Amino acid sequence: MTTRTLIADLQTMTDGPVRVSGWVETVRDQKKVQFVVLRDESGALQLVNPRTFGEDGAEVASEVSTTISSLSQGSFVSVEGALKHDERVKLGGVEVKVASLDVAALAIPETPIADDSGIDKRMDWRFLDLRVPAHALIFKIQTTFLHALRTYWVEHDFVEIMTPKLMASASESKAELFRVDYFEGNAFLAQSPQFFKQMAQSAGFGKIFEVGPAFRADPSFTSRHATEFTSVDTEFSWIESHEDVMKLHEELLVAGFTAVKEKHGDAIKELFDVEIAVPTVPFPRIPLAEAKEIVAKRGYEVPRADDDMDPEGERQISAYVAEEFGHQFVFLTDYASSIRPFYHMRHEGNPQLTNSYDLIFNGTEISTGAQREHRVEILEAQARDKGLEPEELAGYLDFFRYGVPPHGGFGMGLARVLMLMLKLPNLRETTYLFRGPTRLEP
């Protein structure tokens, strides 16, 4: 049997016998010839099967022509035939004349979703939705982006870790915990790998990263929230301030965007009408208080009284940065300690502010980063300030009782980055299988 060839590789092959496999996109069953558009994970191809007629003009039915007539959209088939280059063929300038066709699996003729189906309907039938080339491309982009980040980390001697997602206590806010039965007791799904990332600093790993699931019991129904998401995390030792974390963060993003542009830039332009722009470094950095003043001068007053930036404020400061700096990214720095976790280091001489930042990309926050507090006595005091008892954090605080170097890091939502990169309206589009307050299937 001839080895299967991906459709994308046919253009570089010489005319001759080939075998291709994929699913049926369309069938044109004409009187004199049959055409099938076959699609696989790499592209689409035209199959052609001329009908055979006898001397009396009647069709001499063949097994191939009968099988093609019975094909439904979405059926998976393998085809052997003759590859022919023909510049008149719109699909890549090649076609395959069918010699034999084997049906691996017939699909139900009625398709439950269409091009104009709403996103909830599409999510119900996600496995069919992902056959659309633009939707499948998202996850090829994700693969390229993460590979570039991993390459950067590995080449800079970072260690990859896989932290547990079942925890005995909260890693962030107790209000956003999923509680699960665990034998005779309870466990919690990890909101982030934060504590375990810091444990690696106490262990002497120096520089670590993780890409893994995180869970937030947040009943939000916005276009940028999910109850389960993929978090991109890194932590490293011997930093002097959160500026070191921001520098690493922007270098990672430059590596990721460069790889995506080089490998998928043309396809992204064709399918999403988006030009991938590799960001320049350094990214703009604006203290939060100054950012609020800028936004106010643009006519928008951030209404929150909790010292944070709201979504409209994020959009406004991004618009300002795009106008003034021509940049898609901006670090908002110096967040108030009142809204930051107890483990964020506070400014020397001004405990009201933290050595932390949010990274805003095209109007939406994608990441929080900070220098961590590594001095155990200060950690204990800051925990008490937040209404936490050190006894509740005994396992975490033990890391610091045995010494931890100055360190910091960030956590970043992968689906948000891809959503904003491709200028899509909802992170459901960039999540393989979305989980939200009302969705646990498929």
Is 375 assigned a ligand-binding role in the annotation?
no
Adjacent-strand bridge partners of 82: 17, 97
- Kindly state the DSSP code that residue 147 receives in the 8-state scheme: H
- Distance between the two ends of the chain, CA-based, in angstroms? 36
Is 179 assigned a ligand-binding role in the annotation?
no
Is 216 assigned a ligand-binding role in the annotation?
yes
The CA-atom distances, in angstroms, between 364 and each of 107, 110, 117, 285 are 41, 39, 26, 15
Cβ(213)–Cβ(164) below 8 Å: no
Output the DSSP codes for 74-128: T-EEEEEEEEEE-TT-TTTTEEEEEEEEEEEEPPPSS-S--TT--HHHHHHTHHH
Is 415 assigned a ligand-binding role in the annotation?
yes
The beta strands (E) that lie in 222-378 are given as 228-237, 285-287, 329-333, 346-347, 350-354, 356-361, 364-371
Is 66 assigned a ligand-binding role in the annotation?
no
Residue 36 sits at the vertex; the CA angle it makes with 31 and 38, to the nearest 5 degrees, is: 180
The CA-atom distances, in angstroms, between 429 and each of 29, 119, 143 are 34, 8, 15
Is 368 assigned a ligand-binding role in the annotation?
yes
Three-class secondary structure of residue 301 per DSSP:
coil
Q: Tokens representing 198? A: 């810091």
Is 240 assigned a ligand-binding role in the annotation?
no
* Residues of each annotated binding site for ATP: 365, 413-416
* Residues of each annotated binding site for L-aspartate: 172, 216, 368, 372
* Residues of each annotated binding site: 172, 216, 365, 368, 372, 413-416
